[in-house]
Amino acid sequence: MRLAKTIASVMLICIFNLLLALTVVGENGSIVYYNGKLVGVIKNGSITFEATFPGILKVTKPGYVEFEKEVTEDGVVVAELMFPAYLSISATPVESKIYLDGMLVGVGHAKVSTSPGTHRIIVGMEGYTEWVGEVTLAPFEERELKVNLKRTTTLRLISETLIEGALLDGELISIPGTYEVTPGAHKLELPANYVVNKITLEVPPNSEYAYRVDSRRLFKLSVMGKPERATVQIDGFTYTAPVEIFLPEGNYDVLVSAQGYSSRTYSVKLMRDEYLVYTLEPLNEISGTRSLSNFLIEYDGFTREKVVRKLWFTTIKDAVGGIVWFGFSDGVLRNLPSTVPIAFSRDFQLRVGSYTFKGPGIIQVVPGTQIECLSMDGYQMLTVKNLTILDSSDKVLVNVLSQTSLDVYIDGKFVGRTPIYLLELPEGRHQFEFRSGTLLIEEKLVTVSRGKLNEVKSEK
């Protein structure tokens, strides 16, 4: 008995909690429904009643659009009734289905009264592209709309600039433009100087589809100047000057740097092909040592009045042009180096004391140093007294040099840009071409020999 009283008390408490007051403010004479049941008529501007939550509130009045709202808590709801707008929609073919704000309102024809404001209309039929549109209606406005479905989609290609010479499925077009296409995949190709020049369009089965084409173009930025072979950094990428770079149009900061020179940043507005000619100031330019006693000194293959203090491939030659020493120096030599250079190709591995060296390379040793040499011919112990070249008939060592930085082609193949150190070539005759871009500067037929450091130079 006591348990039954307890349960009854709990139920009364629950009912009390759920039955809360809801006040609806609206036009006098409006009829109020809650969860499908008639509540009453608004008088004196409002009506209050007990309600459970959540629930569906509906307020109607002849000549007005029905007000409907889900209510989740007690309180006051203002039901603003609006005068209706009228929309008449005719569609072809007559079997077309007409949807207003996601609800089917007719087939072939629909005449509806609806609330003022913006509404979304969809008309569709199998085998035709779907028509989608919006209308904005004012109170009491009557609007007629006629829709003719198509089997194709109107493709609108949008661009900020005029693009000539584009291809749509192989047909020559210009952009911006409007074209009739079937729904599905279509291939759009722009001229090669556009950033994005190959596009696959997935056209939906709608009456109209707009696509904005990326109209950014690529332009050539040519960077050159002094010193050559400077490092060029632009847009996160690194190049070696002189260089031609293709970039999307826009503004760029170009950082140019080189060992022994002050760095400099240039600002470039790339709206067409541009040239950037840089000049870097040397940090520590010195008078290079040109001679020692009766010896001539060359830096990267040439005597120089002034050199920047950095590493140069340095060659010391006697009066008749024979090489007596080579290696890398900073441009200042007070005396003839006391070391003996050893140049060796990749077929050789040298061991000096506890150090091992793999070719190609150059090492400097004290005269009389014993080295262990491992090559394709086997193992041998050598005592080095003079300048020594260790190579093979299929890997002869060659330095390729020029006064200015040039592209080098050997036997028709590009091998690099000067200066090139310790290039390996088969022994014999080779055709050397020195080029600046597509311009041939000089060509030479040269025989390279085993057992010496060969030098091939362009004097132009």
Tens-place pLDDT, residues 319-371: 888 899 999 988 777 788 899 999 999 999 999 999 999 989 999 999 999 99
* Residue 8 phi, psi dihedral angles, 5° rounding: -65, -40
Average pLDDT of the residues in 274-303 = 79
pTM confidence score: 0.50
Kindly report the CATH class assigned to 2-78: mainly beta
**DSSP count for the chain of H helices, then E strands:** 1, 48
Distance from C-alpha of 197 to C-alpha of 38, rounded to nearest angstrom = 65
Question: Does residue 38 register a pLDDT over 90?
Answer: yes
**3-state class of 24 per DSSP?**
strand
| pLDDT value at 453 more than 70 | yes
* The two domains 2-78 and 396-458 share their CATH topology (first three levels equal): yes
Mean pLDDT, range 28-45, rounded to an integer: 94
Q: Name, in order, each residue with C-beta under 8 angstroms of 336's C-beta and a sequence gap of 6 or more.
A: 292, 293, 295, 316, 324, 325
3 pLDDT band, cuts 50/70/90, is very low
Listed range (7-16, 205-214, 264-273, 366-375) with the worst mean pLDDT: 7-16
Distance between start and end Cα atoms, the chain:
119
Let me know: does 31 contact 83? Beta carbons within 8 Å. Answer: no
List CB contacts of 338: < 8 A, sequence separation 6 or more. 366, 367
pLDDT per position as a tens digit, 236-277: 999 998 899 999 999 999 999 998 888 999 999 999 999 999
- Find the mean pLDDT for residues 406-428: 95
pLDDT value at 224 more than 70: yes
Task: Please tell me the distance from the alpha carbon of residue 57 to that of residue 118, in angstroms, as a whole number.
Answer: 23
Beta bridge partners of 99: 104, 122
Sign of CA dihedral 409, 415, 418, 421: negative
pLDDT of residue 405: 85
Residue 198: predicted pLDDT = 95
Tell me, what's the pLDDT at 286?
63
Question: Are 441 and 406 in contact, with CB atoms under 8 Å apart?
Answer: yes
Residue type, 387: L
Question: Residue 159 in contact with residue 212, Cβ under 8 Å?
Answer: yes
φ and ψ at residue 412, rounded to 5 degrees:
85, 0
Alpha-carbon distance values, 44 to 17, 24, 26, 114, 427 (Å):
28, 11, 9, 27, 113
Half-sphere exposure of 202 (CA within 13 A, CB side): 0
With vertex at residue 58, the alpha carbon angle to CA 36 and CA 27, rounded to the nearest 5 degrees, is 135
Q: Where are the domains of the chain?
A: 2-78, 85-148, 153-212, 218-279, 288-336, 396-458
More confident residue, 115 or 10: 115
pLDDT for res 285: 64
State the fold for domain 85-148. Answer: Immunoglobulin-like (2.60.40)
Pick the CATH number of 218-279 from 3.10.450.40, 2.60.40.1120, 3.40.50.2300, 3.40.190.10: 2.60.40.1120
CA distance 420 to 77: 86
Question: Which has the closest alpha carbon to 422: 385, 390, 374?
Answer: 390
Output phi, psi for 443, to 5 deg. Answer: -135, 145
The predicted structure's pLDDT at residue 22: 95
> How far is the C-alpha of 341 from the C-alpha of 390, rounded, in Å?
11
pLDDT confidence of residue 312: 87
**Tokens at 419, concatenated:** 């200066």
Q: How far apart are CA 405 and CA 259, in angstroms?
A: 16
Going by pLDDT thresholds of 50, 70 and 90, the confidence category of residue 287 is: low
Element (DSSP H or E) covering residue 17? helix 2-18
Tens digits of residue pLDDT in 136-163? 999 999 999 999 999 999 999 999 999 9
CATH for 396-458, options being 3.40.1350.10, 2.60.40.1120, 3.20.20.80, 1.20.120.1630: 2.60.40.1120
**Rounded Cα distance, 254 and 245, in Å:** 12
